[in-house]
Homo-oligomer: A and B are copies of this chain.
Amino acid sequence: MAQTLPTKDAYREYTSKMQQIADVRNAIAVLGWDQETYLPDKGAAFRGQQITTLSTIAHELFIAPALGDLLEDLNSRTDLDPIAAKNVALSLEDYQKNKKYPALFVAELSKTTNECYHAWINARKEGNYAVFEPVLSRMVDLKKQEADLLGYTGHPYNALLNEYEKGATTTMLDTIFSDVKNALTPLLRSIEQRTQVRKDFLHLHYNRDKQWAFGIDLLKAMGYDMGAGRQDISEHPFTTSFSPQDVRVTTRIDENDFGNMTWSCIHEGGHALYEQGLPAEAYGLPSGEAASLGIHESQSRLWENNVGRSLSFWQHHYPRLQELFPDNLKIVSLNDFYKAINQVQPSLIRTEADELTYHFHVMIRYEIEKGLLEGVYSTKDLREVWNQYYREYLHVQVPSDTQGVLQDIHWSHGSFGYFPTYSLGSFYAAQFFTTAQQQVPGLSEQIAKGEYRTLLEWLRNQVHRHGRYYTSNELCEKITGKPLDFKYFLDYATQKFGEIYGL
C-alpha cells in the first residue's frame, strides 16, 4: 500500500512513526533521569522493569516490518530533498541494524543493564569490585554476543565502537593512541621536570550552595536555556535530552574540591548546548539527532577545556569567584588560579584528570575493553589489569577499587566502545576551536568579556544545526577543511602547557 502513496505522504508517515518511537525513547530517558536523580531506593526494581518494558516496545516499533517496507520504498524514490533522503537512508541503516537484535536479547540487555547499574552502586558503597564482577561478567558476555549479532570486519570491538562513532575502528584508534603515547609522554615527562604549580587552594572548603549558584551562573552565561532545561544533582554528572526543548544536566558537588562541580557544569553545559541547538522541527528524525558521540564530546570538551580552562575565560569569571569565596581566593592571583586549574599531574580519577593525562585514562579503558572483547582479559582479572596499567602509564598506585576500576558508570550501563569518543572529542574540539579562532574575529577578547554568543552561533551554524546529516569526518572536513588530525591538539597542548610550565 505504501508504494501507492505520494512521496510527501509517505514521508509524513515515516516522520510520524519516527516521532512515536522518539516519544517512547524519550520517556525511557525521563525514567532514567529520575532513576539517577530522585528515585527512592526501594523503587529501583519496578523502575528497572518499567524501563525494560518501554525498551522492548521501542525496539518492536522500530523493527516493525511496515516501517521497514516504508523505508525501503522511500529510499528508492528520487524526489526527496537531500535532507529527507539522508534521513531515510540513515533510518534504514538504523532499522537494518536494529533488526539484528532479537527482542529477547534487547530485554535481557535492558534487565542486565539495570542489575549491573545497581551492582555498581552497591560495589562503590562497599568499595569492592568483587560485588560488581559477576554482573559485569554477564554484561561482557552480552556485549560479545552483541558484536556477533551486529557483525564486523577486523576486530569484534569495531562493532561496538561503531555504535558510538560510525566508522571508528581499532586500527584508527590504535594509531591515535599510539600518537598519544609517543607525543604526549615526552611532554608529560618534561612537565614533571619543572616546578609543580600550586593548587592546594582549590581544595579548601567551598560552600555547597555558593558552588551551586556559581555553576548555574556559568551555564546561563554559556547560553544554556534554563527555560528548556534544568540542573540537578546525581552521583555521576550527565546530560539527557527529552527534546531540544527539555535538555537536562546534572552535576555533583564536593565541598573540598572546587573543580569537581565547575568542570562537570561546563562540560555538561557544552553537551546540553548541542542538544538544545538541534533542530526541534526534526524531532525523531536523524537530522534532529547528534552526529556522533565523538562530535558530542567535541562540544563538551571545547567548552570545558578550550574555553573553560583558558586564561580569557577566567579574566571574566575569576573576580566573581573571588567575591564568592574571599577566604579561599582573595590572595590568589588570576595567573596562579589559571595555572592551578591547568595543573598537569598523573592521578587516579579520569573525570578529575587534567587535559594531558586524561588521554592516558582513556587509553587504558580502550585497551581493557579491546582485551575483554578479545578474551585476552577476563572480568575476574580486571582489578589487577586496571591497577597494572595505572602503574605503567601514569606511575600511580591505585589504593582502592572506588578510585580504580569502579570509578566510571559506563560499564555498568553496558557502554563498551564509548570511552574512546572522549579522546576523539578532545581532538575534534582542538581542531574546531582553532578554526573558530580563525573565523570569529576577536574571539579571545569576547571570551575575556564573558561573551559567548558569537562562539555559540558559530557552533550552532557549523555543528548543531546539521544533526546527523554529516558523519564525524565529513563534518570535520566541512568545518576545518581537513580530516581529524591529532596535531591540532598537540599544538594546542604544547603551547598552553609550555607557557604554564615554562618549557
Question: Which residues of A does B touch, CB under 8 Å?
Answer: 19-20, 23-24, 26-27, 30-31, 34, 38-43, 45-47, 49-50, 52-54, 57, 225-230, 232, 242-243, 245-246, 283
Q: How far is the CA of A35 from the CA of B92 in the complex (A)?
A: 33
CB neighbours (8 Å) of A227 from chain B are 40-42
**A28 CB → nearest B CB, Å:** 8
Q: Which of B226, B230, B242 contacts A46 (CB 8 A)?
A: B242
Given the interface pairs A242-B46, A246-B40, A246-B42, the reply to whether A53 lies near B228 with Cβ below 8 Å is no
**A331 CB → nearest B CB, Å:** 34
CB neighbours (8 Å) of A43 from chain B are 228, 242-243, 245-246
| Shortest Cβ distance from A44 into B: residue | B245
Q: How far is the CA of A63 from the CA of B227 in the complex (A)?
A: 38
Q: How far is the CA of A23 from the CA of B243 in the complex (A)?
A: 22
Report yes or no: B27 in contact with A49, Cβ–Cβ below 8 A: no
| Shortest Cβ distance from A56 into B: residue | B20
Given contacts A23-B53, A46-B283, 14 further A-B contacts (CB under 8 A): A19-B49, A23-B50, A23-B54, A27-B30, A27-B53, A27-B54, A40-B226, A40-B230, A41-B227, A42-B225, A42-B228, A46-B245, A47-B243, A47-B246
CB neighbours (8 Å) of A283 from chain B are 46
CB neighbours (8 Å) of A41 from chain B are 227-228
| Shortest Cβ distance from A283 into B: residue | B46
**A114 CB → nearest B CB, Å:** 13
12 contacts between A and B (CB under 8 A): A19-B49, A23-B49, A23-B50, A24-B53, A26-B50, A27-B27, A39-B246, A40-B226, A40-B227, A40-B246, A42-B245, A57-B57
| Shortest Cβ distance from A232 into B: residue | B38
| Shortest Cβ distance from A26 into B: residue | B50
Q: How far is the CA of A450 from the CA of B57 in the complex (A)?
A: 47
Q: How far is the CA of A40 from the CA of B276 in the complex (A)?
A: 13
| Shortest Cβ distance from A228 into B: residue | B42
Q: How far is the CA of A245 from the CA of B39 in the complex (A)?
A: 10
Q: How far is the CA of A243 from the CA of B50 in the complex (A)?
A: 10
CB neighbours (8 Å) of A47 from chain B are 242-243, 246
CB neighbours (8 Å) of A31 from chain B are 27, 30
CB neighbours (8 Å) of A30 from chain B are 27, 30-31, 34, 50
Q: How far is the CA of A40 from the CA of B247 in the complex (A)?
A: 9
Q: How far is the CA of A23 from the CA of B107 in the complex (A)?
A: 14
CB neighbours (8 Å) of A230 from chain B are 38, 40
| Shortest Cβ distance from A41 into B: residue | B227
